[in-house]
Amino acid sequence: MKIGYARTSTADQEAGLEAQERDLKKAGAERLFSEQVSSIATRDQLKAALDYLRDGDTLVVTKLDRLARSVRDLMDIVETIETKGATLEILEMNLDTASPTGKLILGVLGSVAQFEREIMLERQREGIAKAKAEGKYKGRKPTALAKSETVLQMLSEGQTETQVAEALSISRSSVQRIKRKQAATSAA
């Protein structure tokens, strides 16, 4: 059985959702799950579609970006699909994981996306290093460390780490870090 999944990010994309549903039906989807939510939001209908899948079924989507928000998300979804004995079909790419070639292409696409991400991060690190060398990059201010005096004062007044953290809107681990730094300075 073919199970269709359609998604648009906002309610004002009604025509896009209808077009996806039409294409999924044309591709043979017998059951449709549709929703209008951002990819970063909880996608209840995607979860329902994945739960509905049975051995031998195929989850059909029109485009890859309608299904997954990242390579990791895609791989998790594909793993869920495969665990159920089902396959994935992406209409726009003419890709079906029922065949070894489809699985290979999906893996290659995932690898390319991961490679692009790593290259982008490497360039970002190089740019930051260059800016630091030129004195143009200072990084973000250490917000918790800037409150060290206040943290130590409050602790000396008998407040707990949790109370201090909540009062100053910093994490408890930041309070502990400040305490350790103070203890190391005192011991030296």
* Phi (first) and psi of residue 156, to 5 degrees: -65, -20
Write out the H or E segment, with its range, that includes residue 35. Answer: strand 31-36
Separation between Cα atoms, residue 35 and residue 46, nearest integer Å? 8
Q: Are strands 87-90 and 95-96 parallel, antiparallel or unpaired?
A: antiparallel
Cα 26 to the center of its chain, rounded Å: 31
Amino acid at 76: D
9 counts as catalytic: yes
Please give the DSSP secondary-structure letter assigned to residue 100. H
| Catalytic residue of the set 9, 39, 70, 148 | 9
- Show which residues are catalytic: 9
